[in-house]
Structure 1
Amino acid sequence: MYVEANPVTHVTVTPVAFPDAPLLNAAGVHQPWALRTIVQVHCGDELVGLGETYGDAPHLALVQRAAAALSGVDPFDLAGVRRRVAEAIGAVDAPDRHGLTGGSTPAKTLLRVYAPFEVACLDLQGHIAGRPVCDILGGRVRDAVPFSAYLFYKWAGHPGGEPDEYGEALDPDGIVAQARALVDRYGFTSIKLKGGVFAPEEEVEAIRALRAAFPDHPLRLDPNCAWTVETSLRVAEETEGLLEYLEDPTATIPGMAAVAAKATMPLATNMCVVNFADVPEAVALGAVGVVLADHHYWGGLRASALMAGICDTWGIGVSMHSNSHLGISLAAMTHLGAALPNLTYAADTHTPWQLGADVLHTPLSFVDGAVPVPEGPGLGVRIDPDKLARMSEDYARIDIRERDDTTYMRSVQPDFPTRRPRW
């Protein structure tokens, strides 16, 4: 039976802010507030599709411009949605300031702007058809999607603020304590450490401490290209037998290939293979063994599934990258992960660091380190209008309009270096 769909009547774009922990990385430190943008695509009087994306002001402006161009489009016509987004924003490049997701181009900017609308339309398609998004993507291959414990070196609290519930983690003991807290609370069965903060030998000691404390948990280390090829090779040798994979130890596809040629563990990336144009060179040089999909900048869920299929062809593993996000993104990641036959590694998530902040009426839960696929049609989640309003008020009240880890770090450490590689 043919399913008749009402056209999009209007799109609501709401910037929001929520408290963020002082998480350290190669670019600096997270600011006290994280920014996101919530997209609601209205179809008829009652149907609403949900999407979520970055909240930085330049990106928000493009999302708002695209939203104004979508009235009258069929939510099943994703090609038409993409054309309208492209026409609305033009050939513009709006790179992120923190630089932890690879280089930026106008093509990648278009994909970043299009992605939340694609997710929202898939949500609408699911509601109209009475099926979950994972079915729209081809059907589920798993009922729950595994995620990893995402560890960060961090301060106890933001300067001048109270310590948060996770406390300080600036040495191996602090990292192990943080891992125990996350594993005990959420049941994670794999662990990732965000590196690039301290000298490599200190971060290797943290990995050794984690291996001693968690002998059965796969471990990962991600320094966000903070090392030279030579340093990366040394760390790979020192962590032989300890790591499930080493993520973005050094910059560029040729640099990664030089490390991959001698490292015994796979190299993973969300920084050098960030769009389809990067794949041929990466495959030809044998640069990566794992690609971390991120539907927020790959162009949505269908593009991420296509990328996963290409990886399967070349024997490359697949996981999912994460940034500070709310429950709509987690739901989208879960539906994507449920539909990917070759999701070979547990995905990343920042959800534990949001300390319960969410725009969803009923936030998703972790069971033994995995998120069960939400019940019901579409994404299976709905917004709590009061929570959304409060987070929108917080956005209006604060003075942060772009994520800028480096400038915030320099307010505490004026001589903080920006160069990468640093070691």
Structure 2
Amino acid sequence: MKIADCTTFVIGNPPPHHGGRYFIVVKLTTDTGVVGYGEIYVATVGPHIVAAMVTDIADRLVIDADPHRIELLWRRMYSSGYALRPDPTLVGIMSGIEMACWDIVGKDAGRPISDLLGGRVHDRLRTYTYLYPTLDRPDVYADPAQAADQALFEVGRGFNAVKFDPAGPYTAFDGHMPSLDDIARSVALTGAVREAVGDRADLLFGTHGQFTAAGAIRLAQQLEPFDPLWFEEPTQPDLPEEMARVARQTTIPIATGERLTTISEFAALAQHQAAAIWQPNLGRCGGILAAKKIAAIGEAAGCQIAPHLYSGPILGAANIQLGATLPNLLIVEAIQDWSGFHAELLTTPLDWEDGYVRPSREPGLGTELNEAVALAHPYVPDPDDSTDLHLGMHPSPIR
């Protein structure tokens, strides 16, 4: 069996854009007609540039490769161009291609990917969701009452963990010291959510590397009375030694990993004891096998895994297949209950109910891209928005 074709879908995610403005899905087809799908999580360049890069890499290294030889293909892609070091864009593209190979291998074997990674240790996985703004509650990150109401809604439909990030904008000049307003808003919102949900749900306090270690410690001390399950990415992700300073001075577990790529960057977390909860994104960290290795390093270091998801449902399906096999799995991120457009994009929607998702027992990822829906929703960049990427940062310093 050899890979005969590679196609990339750049899918526009309709408003309210939960999971991002677009999803980038790779489709590999073998010479025997087996199809595999993978999803790329790249935020540094436009998605159509990513699609062109997929074509370049596929033409040079993927076409005619054996999809079963995943480790060999991964190393050949990773060493392309004489880098052999973490590169979020390259490794994001590699991750989608690698994921599609696993989907092919599972389908060829007639087994779900989880069976090929050591088998399930979980028959259902705990999930969490962001408190996403709604038409009725548009200011959940600024208004404690709205945040509390949205948290009650999510708990009411089954979630027992909710995430929010009210600590102010993240900028091109991070890290900075949180302002008094940032601290006050964070404390008021976290307190309102805790009072509303009581002990029915864990609180996941999110930041995006906004702060210096000193600033993060200052904020964490104010949040400790509300007992969050985690304080996410309190400092810049490429300075694990600074994050470790925060970890040593707060009772809140530190979580990080959505911006890290390859096992080497996660190994640095273990070396510095920077975080207790690791959040690899399978569309960026190197793919399914890389994430399995990352989880093993975390297991040896006494850390738990909470796969990150701010993208589409193909990546969600990969998180579920991997998560089912991890003895040190804590929780997986959901995009609410994966209904709406996320369900429409799949031939078989993800099996979520009452806060938990059940891993599919169908071959490969357990579902496929609904290509008719994907093609009916092409992503068209906004010509008037030069920052029209998957995610962005405030361009000016915070004073």
Interval containing the TM-score (normalised by the shorter chain): 0.7 to 0.9
Q: Counterparts of 2:25 and 2:112 in 1: how far apart (Å)?
A: 20
8 A contact 1:73–1:80 mirrored in 2: no
> Which of residues 166, 187, 194 is equivalent to 1:204?
187
Which stretch shows the higher mean deviation, 55-64 or 331-340?
55-64
Q: Deviations over 1:333-370 (max 9, x none)?
A: 10011011110x22223355874344212321311211
Q: What is the CA-CA distance between 1:403 and the residue it aligns to?
A: 0.9
Residue in 2 aligned with 1:410? none
Query: Residue 225 of structure 1 is aligned with which of 195, 199, 209?
Result: 209
1:149–1:179: 8 Å Cα contact kept in structure 2? no
Q: In the alignment, residue 9 of structure 1 is paired with which amino acid?
A: A
| Contact residue 149 and residue 183 of structure 1 kept, 8 A | no
Are residues 335 and 281 of structure 1, via their aligned partners in 2, closer, same or farther at CA, if it must alter by over 3 Å?
closer
Alpha-carbon distance change, 285 to 272 in structure 1, aligned in 2, over 3 angstroms: farther
Aligned to 2:176: none
2:198 maps to 215
Aligned equivalents of 2:15, 2:30: Cα separation in 1:
33
CA distance in 2, matches of 1:190, 1:298: 24
In the alignment, what sits opposite 1:160?
A: none
Contact 1:282 1:288 in 2 (8 A): yes
Give the structure 1 partner of residue 13 of structure 2: 18
**Structure 1 portions without partners, runs of 5+:** 1-5, 24-29, 94-104, 157-163, 408-415
Partner residue of 2:282?
Answer: 295
1:182 is matched with which residue: 151, 154, 172?
A: 154
Letter in 2 for 1:146: R
Instruction: Give 3-state SS (helix, strand or coil) of 1:199's partner.
Output: helix
Aligned partner (choices 349, 353, 359) of residue 334 of structure 2? 349
Letter in 1 for 2:230: Y
For the residues of structure 2 that align with 1:18 and 1:326, how far apart are their CA atoms?
9
**Helix, strand or coil for the counterpart of 1:175?**
helix
Q: TM-score, normalised by structure 2?
A: 0.84
SS at match of 2:245: helix
Q: Which amino acid aligns with 2:5?
A: H
Taking a change above 3 Å as real, the CA distance of residues 314 and 363 of structure 1, as seen in their structure-2 partners, is: same
Q: Is the 8 A contact 1:9 1:72 kept in 2?
A: yes
- Secondary structure of 2:36 counterpart: strand
Quote the residue 2:313 is aligned against.
327
| Helix, strand or coil at the partner of 1:376 | coil
Alignment-derived partner of residue 162 in structure 2: 191
**Corresponding letter in the other structure for 1:122:** W
Separation in structure 2 between the aligned mates of residue 129 and residue 177 of structure 1, nearest angstrom: 47
Aligned with 2:63 (options 67, 71, 79): 71
Q: Tell me the equivalent position of 1:59.
A: 50
Matched letter for residue 178 of structure 1: Q
Among 14, 26, 30, the residue aligned to 1:39: 26
Larger mean CA deviation between 301-310 and 221-230 belongs to 221-230
1:298/1:192 CA distance change after superposition, 3 Å: same
Q: Quick one: distance in 1 between partners of 2:230 and 2:314?
A: 28
Q: Which residue of 1 aligns with 2:219?
A: 235
- Separation in 2, partners of 1:221, 1:379: 30
Find the counterpart in structure 2 of residue 125 from structure 1: 105
Match of 1:240, SS state, is helix
Contact 1:273 1:291 in 2 (8 A): no
Amino acid at match of 2:204: R
- Unmatched runs of 5 consecutive residues or more in structure 2: 169-180
C-alpha change, 1:175 and 1:85, in structure 2 (3 Å) is same
- For residues 199-222 of structure 1, the C-alpha deviation after alignment (integer angstroms, 9 at most, x for no partner) is 122112111111111112111111
Distance in 1, Cα, partners of 2:370 & 2:17 = 27
**For the residues of structure 2 that align with 1:151 and 1:289, how far apart are their CA atoms?**
23
Matched to 2:71, the amino acid is A
Q: Structure 1 306/180 Cα, relative in aligned 2: closer, same or farther at 3 Å?
A: same
Residue type at the aligned position of 1:68? D
Question: Following TM superposition, by how much is the alpha carbon of 1:59 offset from its aligned partner in structure 2, in angstroms?
Answer: 2.6
Please tell me whether the aligned partners of residues 256 and 288 of structure 1 are also in contact (alpha carbons under 8 angstroms).
yes
Q: CA RMSD in A?
A: 2.8
Question: What TM-score results when the alignment is normalised by the length of structure 1?
Answer: 0.80
The separation in 2 between residues aligned to 1:75 and 1:115, in whole angstroms, is: 13
Report the alpha carbon displacement of residue 92 of structure 1 after superposing the two structures with TM. 7.5
Give the Cα–Cα distance (whole angstroms) in 2 for the partners of residues 91 and 178 of structure 1.
49
How far is the alpha carbon of 1:279 from its aligned partner? Answer: 4.3
| Residues 155 and 197 in structure 2, CA contact (< 8 A), matched pair in contact too | no
Contact map agreement 1:48 1:124 (CA 8 A) in 2: yes
What pairs with 1:12-411 in structure 2 (closer than 5 Å)? 12-21=7-16, 34-54=21-41, 56-69=47-60, 70-86=62-78, 90=81, 107-152=87-132, 154=133, 164=135, 167-169=138-140, 170-185=142-157, 187-197=158-168, 199-216=182-199, 217-241=201-225, 242-251=227-236, 252-270=239-257, 274-279=261-266, 281-323=268-310, 325-343=311-329, 345-352=330-337, 355-357=340-342, 358-392=344-378, 395-396=379-380, 399=383, 402-403=388-389, 405-406=391-392
Deviation at 1:263, TM superposition (A): 0.6
Q: Is the 8 A contact 1:144 1:334 kept in 2?
A: no
Q: How many residues align?
A: 374
C-alpha deviations, 1:128-173, integer Å up to 9, x for none?
A: 1111000111101111222112125x4x6xxxxxxx4664423111
Does the CA contact (< 8 Å) of 2:36 and 2:104 recur in 1?
yes
